[in-house]
Amino acid sequence: MSLAHSPKELAKKLTRLTLGADGQIDPARADAVLKALEPYKPRHRQAILKAYLHYLQIEDRRSRLAVEHAGDLGPAELESLRAQYSKKYGRTLRLEARTNPALLAGLRLSVGDDIYEASAAGRLAALATALS
Amino acid sequence: MSTVLEQIQQEIAKLETGSTHRNVGRIVTLADGVAKLDGLSAVMYNEMIEFPGGVFGIALNLEADEIGAIILGDYAHLKEGDEGKTTGRLLSVPVGKALLGRVVDAIGRPIDGKGPINTTESYPVEKIAPGIIPRQSVDQPLQTGIMSVDSMIPIGRGQRELIIGDRSTGKTAIAIDAIINQSVINKEGLASGDPKFRPVYSIYVAVGQKNSNVARTIKALEKAGAMEHTIIVSAPAADNPANQYLAPYSGCAMGEWFMENGQDALIVYDDLSKHAVAYRQISLVLKRPSGREAYPGDVFYLHSRLLERAARLNAADVEKRTNGKVKGSTGSLTALPIIETQSGDVSAYIPTNVISITDGQIFLETDLFNQGIRPAISVGLSVSRVGSAAQIKAFKQVAGRIKLELAQYRELAAFAQFGSDLDARTKQQLERGARIVELFKQPALMPKRTEVQVVLLWAVQNGVFDPIAREKIVAASTSIEEFFVTRKAATLKKIVTEGKLSDALTAEVKGACEEWARSFS
């Protein structure tokens, strides 16, 4: 593997190689990438690995639909949300749901850097900002 | 109490019932007023970013892996890992007449302790300048009240005239005199009830100044009664560079409101050298590539896009912008940017940039200042590219030859230093030139009315001051001004109403001057 590219550019390429057909991180591919990096000089290896980790974390966030809900939300509704947002983002999203009583009511969804606020707590916070 | 309840009800009604979408990022590094954020994948250039604690920033660097944002306000409570979210809007400032008489910071918040400013409109801080078609040529005078400027370097409404010179040469004094004079003219014109009268509102933008200087300026304007027609935008030296960078654009947005509503405004940027330094600091912290003198490559664009927003709009464009509410009225924004030079070097980077943008410059020299010639305007190096198109006819009649006479005087004065015998004509030219120089001396914060200037210039051109000793010319000009204001007010009024010196009016002025000369000793 040539080191002509900067560590960041190389890490980006390695990240693309680590993703499976479904757009999710493939552990087997990640393992293969780590093994391929072993022969390289320590300082380059560290820089590439740090950048690689950073980009993988970004990809992980982008591949994950985090659903926070205040009340009960059944598996069918969650699956419906997952399918809807997978279609919106053009990739298969992994669902992570948890209860968050601080929301008071409603939902908060996050995919990567995007947050969709449909909770009572969010609206009250928006009202407070508007009034201040 | 009921107002507060109504406000809450209005805000509740405005809240959307659907979900809201925001794009977020996290602070990775924070130093020197600049935050680097991870995430914010959908942020746009110049978009406002909201941080915890009601602090806002503006996204200036959109890089592949991070966003660089300047923080507006106090960022001491922010830390690594704090969330920043997009707001979907550009930075705007409040605009309108409610700002007159107020002192605000770089984003339009009042800092004078006089309570909130009740405005209904806000304008974006960054705006594209008017194109070619909406503009109208500059032909309305903007009287600064400084005789050497109004006679030889006349400024028109909608022009950009640079005031450039070394430190402590009187640059700010010229700008303040111009603001005070607008206020004096406004009060007289509005009191007269003339429907054709067009007041000029002023905006003074203080960038990187000492707080004591800004306070002194405000006091001077209050004392002269000029604050009621003036907005002060203050981003002092203690303010963070982001605020110093934004302040001129905020002031310009406030001035644009007047222009786009068919009114006239004057804006003073004091000074753009410090503005460029603040922008350099921000750019270097954002790791943008630096060029000449460590300024970023777009430092010309920094000032060109600001100064191009000062213009004169034609009546059709004003009508379109106001949706037909204002008809038949042009609007203008006149800019007086100030640049500080080092050792009189006008060929330095920032000065040459701004000289090439503006429609002329008023160059102040330290030597002249030290010789007691104040305002220390170098007539040879100063120019107004609008010229006599921005002078009333009476002024053109008396001031047409002044610049030439002064130029001839300077040439002859250099020659006369060698002590050779001079012929009578040369001596007369030297004496006349010396008297013109004395006449142009004017104390700060005391602008002269247009009609008084016309009389003084007519008097010096027609030898009224020739019998008076050179060292008494300043006293003589004060005396003749007082004489005309107190005893020949009707003559002065005719100069204003007629706008030119007819034969009859010239005879009247001549008679009055002769009457004064008999009484002056």
pLDDT digits (tens, 9 = 90+) for B449-467: 999 999 999 999 999 999 9
Task: Check whether A43 has a pLDDT greater than 80.
Answer: no
Instruction: Indicate which residue of B305, B385, B435, B470 is catalytic.
Output: B385
User: Token pair of B377, please?
Assistant: 């305007």
Question: The domain that contains B76 carries what CATH number?
Answer: 2.40.30.20
Task: Based on the fold, state whether residues B77 and B98 are members of the same structural domain.
Answer: no
Domain membership flag for residue B5: no
pLDDT given at position B73: 83
**CA dist., res. B281 & res. B274, Å (int):** 11
Give the domain ranges of chain A: 7-61, 65-131
The band of A85, judged by pLDDT with boundaries at 50, 70 and 90, is very high
Q: Across all residues in chain B, what is the average pLDDT?
A: 93
For strand B162-165 and strand B360-364, is the pairing parallel, antiparallel, or unpaired? parallel
Domain membership flag for residue B16: no
**Among residues B127, B150, B148, B360, which one has the least CA distance to residue B248?**
B127
The CA distances from residue B30 to B34, B38, B57, B71, B289, in Å, are 6, 12, 12, 9, 20
B24–A131: do the CB atoms touch at under 8 Å?
A: no
Question: Which residues in chain A touch residue B14, judged by CB atoms under 8 angstroms apart?
Answer: 130
Average pLDDT in the B17-35 region? Answer: 88
Tokens 């003073």 identify what position? B268
pLDDT digits (tens, 9 = 90+) for A48-73: 888 899 899 999 999 999 999 988 88
**CA dist., res. A77 & res. A38, Å (int):** 45
Residue B193 domain boundaries: 93-391
pLDDT given at position B428: 86
Task: Based on the fold, state whether residues B366 and B339 are members of the same structural domain.
Answer: yes
**CA dist., res. B302 & res. B300, Å (int):** 5
Highest mean pLDDT among A31-40, B285-294, B419-428: B285-294
pLDDT given at position A42: 60
Amino acid at B137: S
Rounded to a whole number, what is the distance in Å from the CA of A113 to chain B's nearest CA?
A: 5
pLDDT given at position A90: 87
pLDDT given at position B262: 97
Count CB-CB contacts under 10 A for residue B14: 10
Contacts made by residues B468-477, CB under 8 angstroms, sequence distance 24+: B468/B435, B468/B520, B470/B431, B470/B434, B470/B435, B470/B438, B473/B435, B473/B438, B473/B439, B474/B438, B474/B439, B474/B441, B476/B520, B477/B438, B477/B439
ipTM computed for the complex: 0.82
Task: Based on the fold, state whether residues B113 and B207 are members of the same structural domain.
Answer: yes
Highest mean pLDDT among B265-269, B434-438, B504-508: B265-269
User: Token pair of B340, please?
Assistant: 């500080």
Q: Which secondary-structure segment (H or E) carries B217?
A: helix B211-223
Task: Check whether A22 has a pLDDT greater than 90.
Answer: no
Question: The domain that contains B312 carries what CATH number?
Answer: 3.40.50.300
Task: Based on the fold, state whether residues B260 and B376 are members of the same structural domain.
Answer: yes
Domain membership flag for residue B10: no
**Closest-CA residue in chain A for B20?**
A117
pLDDT digits (tens, 9 = 90+) for B364-407: 999 999 999 999 999 989 999 998 888 989 989 988 888 888 88
Identify the DSSP state of B169: S
Task: Based on the fold, state whether residues B324 and B463 are members of the same structural domain.
Answer: no
Domain membership flag for residue B8: no
Task: Mark which of B375, B391, B407 sits at the end of a domain.
Answer: B391
A118–B19: do the CB atoms touch at under 8 Å?
A: yes
In total, how many domains does chain B have? 3
Task: Mark which of B62, B89, B116 sits at the end of a domain.
Answer: B89
**CA dist., res. B488 & res. B490, Å (int):** 5
The reported pTM is: 0.90
Task: Based on the fold, state whether residues B290 and B271 are members of the same structural domain.
Answer: yes
Neighbouring-strand partners of residue A98? A68
Contact B95, B84 (CB under 8 A): no
- C-alpha A64: how far from chain center: 5
Task: Based on the fold, state whether residues B40 and B111 are members of the same structural domain.
Answer: no
Domain membership flag for residue B511: yes
Q: Is B489 exposed, middle or buried (0-12, 13-18, 19+ CB in 10 A)?
A: exposed
Q: Does B81 touch chain A (CB under 8 A)?
A: no
Average pLDDT in the B202-226 region? Answer: 96
Give the CA dihedral B288, B292, B298, B303, nearest 10 degrees: 130
Residue B89 annotated as catalytic: no
Question: The domain that contains B439 carries what CATH number?
Answer: 1.20.150.20
How many contacts (CB atoms, under 8 Å) link A and B? 50
